[in-house]
Amino acid sequence: MSILPILRNASDRILEMDSITIRKPDDWHTHLRDGAMLEAVLPLTARAFRRAIVMPNLAPNPVVTTEDVIQYRERILKALPQNANFTPLMTYYLTDNSSAEEIAKGFTDGHATAVKMYPAGATTNSTHGVTNIQNVYKVFEAMQKVGMPILLHGESLKDLNGNVIDPYDREKVFLDTTLPKLRSDFPELKIVLEHATTKDAIQFVQDANSNFLGSTITIHHLVENKSVVEKSSAPQYHHCMPVIKSEENQKALREAVTSGSPHFFLGTDSAPHPTTSKEKDPPAAGIFSIPSALELYTQVFEEMGKLENLEAFTSLNGPRFYGLQPNDKMITLTKSPWTIASDVSVSNGDSIRPFGFDDDATKRLVINWKLS
């Protein structure tokens, strides 16, 4: 990492940087969708990220079989702009009926990088998800054997009596019940706790201190907290799963990602929905952050006084966990404030509202860093 420090206020001994050069980052959790939406989202992803773990929750038909994986990957490559240097890392969507053999072979043959498990009903397009974790134990055995990671939507929807759990408590219940059992039943299964949102999740991952457990953290859970969302004039654009938690939890996430710990890595969970779906009641869950995610992560590291740890989080910890090489190419971010000026148009007539955009220009989120 090379950095250009300027001494802005020598008497305060505050070192500020106006430029930072790091290896090109990867996004270890992203939603690209399909068709016209894919075409709109992909260039914005490839702009900042060299690779991305592509989530398989397509609607109406998720990416379940190896044939689905191969075809979806081809559609992504076809939608890539010329000259883009981007590699989609494909995932299977786990169902109660997934084939252990097919999935393990898809990994060893190089078609897919990981498997995503959604508890049925937990989030957008999760109706085909797993209803009982025992149903997929054969798949986990096969994955553990070949070293294929399982990516967990780490929330429990219902308690043992079948009562629906409050959205603010779902991650905690998952950490108290499902995750410890999974880790003890499959001690060498590589697990990613996706989009961790609570101090309990941070504690769990830090206590485990294991090469078999990593966690992605989204940009929106770092930038916002529950009271910011409640004060917003358009809370539907802040609605996602897991929901945005309290300031205390936000603080724990900000400390974890900037700490230099190898267990946390960048995963935007950027989840585009047409504005028409976000304006419905209830709104679709998912925040579209990809247009400014990398810049905003940089901003968080700057605010925490930890720019020196940015590259580990964005570009080194993820590849290390997945057993891949970090990217060779370098990118530079410079201090140059901007705001998002419009929704993103989709060729089918839809539009997608990016995180930080507001119709009222004075209310737009100021993004301090810009990717050169």
Look at residues 354, 335, 289 and name the one whose alpha carbon lies nearest to residue 52. 289
> How many binding residues for Zn ion (CB under 5 A)?
1
Cα–Cα dist 89/101, whole Å: 20
Q: Is 57 in the site for ligand NCD (CB under 6 A)?
A: yes
Answer for which of 123, 216, 236, 289 binds ligand NCD (CB under 6 A) is 123
Q: Is 197 in the site for ligand NCD (CB under 6 A)?
A: no
Shortest distance (Å) from residue 155 CB to ligand NCD: 9
Shortest distance (Å) from residue 325 CB to ligand NCD: 27
Q: Is 286 in the site for ligand NCD (CB under 6 A)?
A: yes
Q: Is 270 in the site for ligand NCD (CB under 6 A)?
A: no
Q: Is 241 in the site for ligand NCD (CB under 6 A)?
A: yes
Look at residues 166, 168, 193, 169 and name the one whose alpha carbon lies nearest to residue 180. 193
Answer for which of 124, 216, 315, 317 binds ligand NCD (CB under 6 A) is 124
Pick one of ligand NCD, Zn ion, none as the site partner of residue 199 (Cβ within 5 to 8 A by kind): none
Q: Is 269 in the site for Zn ion (CB under 5 A)?
A: yes
Q: Is 274 in the site for ligand NCD (CB under 6 A)?
A: no
Answer for which of 26, 68, 171, 269 binds ligand NCD (CB under 6 A) is 269
Q: Is 26 in the site for ligand NCD (CB under 6 A)?
A: no
**Active-site residue identified among 269, 281, 350, 359:** 269
Shortest distance (Å) from residue 57 CB to Zn ion: 7
Residue nearest to ligand NCD (CB): 286
Range in contact with ligand NCD (rule: CB under 6 A) among 80-88, 95-103, 121-129, 203-211 = 121-129
Cα–Cα dist 211/205, whole Å: 10
Nearer to Zn ion, 27 or 269 (CB): 269
Range in contact with ligand NCD (rule: CB under 6 A) among 117-125, 224-232, 300-308, 333-341 = 117-125
Q: Which distant-in-sequence residues (6+ apart) come within 8 Å of 71 by Cβ?
A: none
CA atoms within 13 Å, Cβ hemisphere of 55:
28
Q: Is 269 tagged catalytic?
A: yes
Pick one of Zn ion, ligand NCD, none as the site partner of residue 95 (Cβ within 5 to 8 A by kind): none
Q: Which distant-in-sequence residues (6+ apart) come within 8 Å of 52 by Cβ?
A: 26, 27, 28, 30, 32, 45, 86, 88, 89
Nearer to ligand NCD, 24 or 153 (CB): 153
Range in contact with ligand NCD (rule: CB under 6 A) among 7-15, 122-130, 176-184, 351-359 = 122-130
Binding site for Zn ion (CB under 5 A): 269
Binding site for ligand NCD (CB under 6 A): 31, 57, 123-125, 153, 240-241, 269, 271, 285-286
Report, as residue numbers or ranges, the catalytic residues.
269
